[in-house]
Amino acid sequence: MIRDGKLKLVVRGRKRRELALDAFVADGTWRSSARAPGPPPRAHRLYVGGAPPPPAARMLPPAISRVGGFVGCVRRVSVNNRAEDLVRDARDHHAVGQCFPDVEQAAYFAGDAYAAVNGVEESAEVRIKFRSSAPRGILLAAEGLLLELRDGKVVLTRYSEGSETGRAESWGAGGEEGAGGAGARAVCDGRWHVAGVRGAALSVDRLPPARLTPALLHDAAPAPPRLLYVAGAPEGTADLPDGGRENFKGCIAEVWVGGRAVSWSEMKTHNVLLDSCPKR
């Protein structure tokens, strides 16, 4: 099983034994796992990716049944060096889908994922290249700042102590390549778009920047470096205003902070599928 992002092996017999690995595996990259040869197990059936609900899984202890099913992709399952086809017989699988067969090098966010970048200066320009599959969702969030999709628009909101202090919004421009004369359009159109925030200005694709209304006043002392969330945030994050915000659904290719591209390996990621963006 995977517990807190790490692999854990539990062997139950006369004496319960557990083995946990130190490596963090819930990072969206492919991993291989194997159980070393040993005495043959007593069970006649091996479940992959989860267990059926009671009473079908009476042989499993409640502590195992409560763990929940695996969320992700599985390939190349073998038992005693014999490859097993998990979907050959419809009677042997339940609610099993497929990973995207044709992908490109961008991270995929299914609506339950997010990433976090530490030490972002308040004055730094932040940009994100994204392709959305939903009209709503968080793009970037930090203390005092929220960049999100709202009904197909990109909306920048500045706030203080939970109250909104300024807002700017912009449509997209038909994708970053055709921004010149394509006209305004919703950014949840299956095309790649680039949104950026610098001070009180919001830029989307190559359209003229939109500025916060009312204008942002810089009369406060500079804030210390902060945590920047990408594509969502953990539940109950105190730094975000109320309002039932949704995590982003779609693909993100690049995140720039202060003019520098930040790699996914520099971020803390949660349920992010790297290099798994489905092609249109």
Q: Token match 């699988």: residue?
A: 93
Sequence-distant (6+) residues with CB within 8 A of 183 are 173, 174
User: Please, where in the chain does CATH 2.60.120.200 lie?
Assistant: 103-278
Cα–Cα distance, 149 to 187 (Å, whole number): 8
Predicted pLDDT at 221: 52
Predicted pLDDT at 30: 79
pTM over 0.75: no
Predicted pLDDT at 181: 44
For residue 51, what pLDDT band results from cuts at 50, 70 and 90?
confident
Predicted pLDDT at 26: 78
Closest C-alpha to 249, from 188, 175, 172: 188
Q: What is the pLDDT of residues 207-236, one digit of tens each?
A: 999 998 876 555 555 567 889 999 998 887
Fold of 103-278: Jelly Rolls (2.60.120)
**8 A C-beta contact, residue 144 and residue 241:** no
Kindly tell me if the per-residue pLDDT of 180 is higher than 60.
Answer: no
Sequence-distant (6+) residues with CB within 8 A of 116 are 227, 228, 229, 230, 267, 268, 269
Predicted pLDDT at 222: 56
